[in-house]
């Protein structure tokens, strides 16, 4: 094991240990889903996610939440590798349902779910873009720490691994009537070598990411409501 560690390129090891890794902010390719793409800021130089924070104090005025739209969109130019082929129609439906259920589960902890837009109702809209499945066999073969560094590339630093699923999300919270945008997020996630079991299926990394983003939205509502008291 010691021999493997010393074989890591020194620049990568130093960057990983010192934290000297900066990420370029993610950008929307076509700006076609969210109600607005103005005012987004990068969360930090260590994270490529960008978000928009509007007048969050208004969230205390809502007593219901409506999960309005959840979409899953395949890559525009997928690689020609087998494991990045587009999801089947059945997989699309399953993933959309998984994302919707994650949002409903988290948001219902803060507000009752509504069945339609209306006064006093907050809307949540979300789209999973550029979605690519994982390759369980390839992920497993490159999982062992410090092995296949040449093929894993920045996986040493970022924790991502070859064969892991990948997805970009665009999501927002808006007034269901006026369409005023309060919070929006554009983020990307890939599978992690630190969570090996999740990489052993085509979509587990994506489903875990859905749960993470849904929790982020709930925490935003909770924090805004508590801050207004």
Whether residue 111 contacts residue 65, with contact meaning beta carbons closer than 8 Å, is answered with: yes
Q: Which of 9-13, 35-39, 92-96 has the lowest mean pLDDT?
A: 9-13
Q: What is the pLDDT of residues 217-227, one digit of tens each?
A: 999 999 887 76
Distance CA 103, CA 185 (A): 14
Whether residue 158 contacts residue 21, with contact meaning beta carbons closer than 8 Å, is answered with: yes
Q: End-to-end CA distance of the chain, in Å?
A: 54
Distance CA 126, CA 104 (A): 12
pLDDT band at 38 (very low <50, low <70, confident <90, very high): very high
Q: What is the pLDDT of residues 152-187, one digit of tens each?
A: 443 433 444 444 567 889 999 999 999 999 999 998
Domain ranges of the chain: 35-227
Q: What is the helix (H) or strand (E) element at residue 10, kind and residue range?
A: helix 10-18
Residue closest to 174 by CA, chosen among 30, 32, 69, 82: 69
**Neighbour count for residue 14 (Cβ, 10 Å):** 11
Residue-level pLDDT at 181? 97
Q: Nearest 10 degrees: CA dihedral of 117, 119, 120, 124?
A: 30
Class of domain 35-227: alpha beta
Average model confidence (pLDDT) across the chain? 74
Distance CA 201, CA 98 (A): 15
């Amino acid at each position: 094991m010691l021999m493997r560690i010393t074989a890591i390129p020194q620049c990568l090891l130093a960057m990983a240990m010192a934290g000297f890794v900066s990420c370029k902010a993610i950008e929307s390719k076509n700006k076609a889903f969210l109600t607005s793409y103005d005012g987004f800021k990068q969360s930090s130089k260590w994270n490529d996610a960008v978000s928009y924070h509007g007048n969050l104090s208004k969230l205390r005025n809502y007593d219901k939440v409506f999960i309005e739209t959840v979409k899953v969109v395949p890559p525009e130019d997928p690689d020609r590798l087998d494991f990045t082929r587009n999801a089947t129609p059945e997989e699309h439906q399953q993933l959309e349902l998984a994302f919707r259920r994650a949002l409903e589960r988290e948001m219902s902890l803060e507000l009752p779910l509504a069945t339609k837009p209306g006064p006093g109702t907050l809307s949540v809209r979300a789209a999973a873009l550029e979605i690519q499945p994982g390759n369980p066999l390839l992920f497993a073969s490159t999982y062992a720490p410090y092995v296949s560094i040449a093929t894993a590339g920045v996986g040493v630093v970022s924790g991502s691994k070859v064969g892991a699923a990948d997805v970009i999300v665009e999501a927002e919270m808006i007034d269901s009537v006026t369409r005023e945008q309060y919070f929006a997020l554009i983020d990307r996630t890939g599978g992690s070598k630190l969570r090996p079991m999740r990489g052993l299926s085509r979509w587990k990394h994506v489903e875990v990411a859905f749960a993470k983003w849904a929790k982020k939205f709930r925490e935003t509502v909770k924090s805004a409501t508590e801050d207004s008291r």
